Amino acid sequence: MPSDHDHPDARSRSEERTFADDHGVEIVYDVHPASAPTTDAPRGVVQLLHGVGDHAGRYAAVIGALTAAGFTVYADDHRGHGRTGMRQHGGDASRLGRLGVGGLPAAVEACWRLTRVIRDDHPGVPLILLGHSWGSFLAQMLLDRHPDAYDAAILTGSALRTPLSLNAAPLNARWKGPDALGTEWLSTDPAVGRAFLDDPLTTTTPLLRLFGPVDAARLYGRPRRGLRAAAGHDVPVLLMVGRDDPVGGPLSVHRLARAYRERGGLDDVTTLVYPDARHELFNEVAQAEVRADLLAWLDARFPPR
């Protein structure tokens, strides 16, 4: 099964843009316009948030599926990561993943700044957060702080952000062996792990070493109480997780779903668990099924015009 690296079309019509965050760091992001012939406006805009050590360029297949379905996608390389990180760190790839001045709060604020850019570019168009792994934690934080800014949230490889619901052990522990690459936890497709290691814009340095204990502890939190009331409407949430995902896994994601219902007051919360899948669902052997489920969920809530 091809990985996201085998789908270059998602970047062919994209436009690279930048903005300077509050600390002067140049944030690089891409705008992928909707390609489906709908109307002058897209069905919705998806703000995609990638994971730790990751970058937006690894999501080409899902971006291509979304744009073909009529959604415009904005995807940035977060603070310290990808193209942003290379510029921020003077081209030193060994420092990729390090957030720099302002730390995690600045990284969250930069994502919120991109949300405001999107709202200015597409007033009145539904805005959906799509966060993977650390990006899903950023999405949870954004939804807690600005619930009225978003119309839906999709979280993959996510977890309830508490010490007992996040795995502190080495993520590749269960696949450890003499021939292990150390990236087996990402996908059942061995090519995905190899491609991650070969990618000049990724890093395998663990989160705690990249962020330090203070910023790592800032990741903890629970969905906001009264989220629905603060938003002024129900916010549909889709949680997608591989059964063998070592970051949180199904148990943690079910706890997160319950927190969104009981603490947040949300009604439309859906959890999908994929057997024999690991952390990167968009790079899994079953990625076509994952994309189809994602689009079906969106179709039911944001139908074509």
Give per-residue pLDDT as tens, 10-49: 445 899 999 999 999 999 999 999 996 555 789 999 999 9
**209 pLDDT more than 70:** yes
| CA–CA distance, 214 with 94 (Å, rounded to integer) | 21
Question: Percent of the chain beyond pLDDT 70?
Answer: 95
Per-residue model confidence (pLDDT) at position 37: 58
| CA–CA distance, 277 with 264 (Å, rounded to integer) | 29
Please give the mean pLDDT across all residues of the chain. 94
**4 pLDDT more than 70:** no
| CA–CA distance, 178 with 227 (Å, rounded to integer) | 47
Per-residue model confidence (pLDDT) at position 7: 42
Q: Where are the domains of the chain?
A: 4-301
Per-residue model confidence (pLDDT) at position 5: 38
Per-residue model confidence (pLDDT) at position 169: 81
Q: How confident is the model at residue 105 (pLDDT cuts 50, 70, 90)?
A: very high
Q: What is the mean pLDDT of residues 84-98?
A: 98
> Looking at per-residue confidence, does 10 or 173 come out higher?
173
4-301, which class in CATH? Answer: alpha beta
Per-residue model confidence (pLDDT) at position 45: 98
Per-residue model confidence (pLDDT) at position 28: 98
Contact 31, 12 (CB under 8 A): no
For residue 220, the tally of other CB atoms under 10 A from its CB is 13
Per-residue model confidence (pLDDT) at position 67: 96
Per-residue model confidence (pLDDT) at position 142: 98
**177 pLDDT more than 60:** yes
Q: What is the mean pLDDT of residues 194-217?
A: 96
**3 pLDDT more than 60:** no
Per-residue model confidence (pLDDT) at position 9: 46
Q: How confident is the model at residue 2 (pLDDT cuts 50, 70, 90)?
A: very low
| CA–CA distance, 155 with 26 (Å, rounded to integer) | 26
**168 pLDDT more than 90:** no
Q: How confident is the model at residue 305 (pLDDT cuts 50, 70, 90)?
A: confident
| CA–CA distance, 146 with 22 (Å, rounded to integer) | 18
Residue 299 — φ and ψ, nearest 5°? -60, -40
Reading the block at residue 239, the tokens are: 């949680």
Residue 233 — φ and ψ, nearest 5°? -165, 160
Annotated active-site positions, please? 133, 245, 279
Q: What is the mean pLDDT of residues 192-204?
A: 98
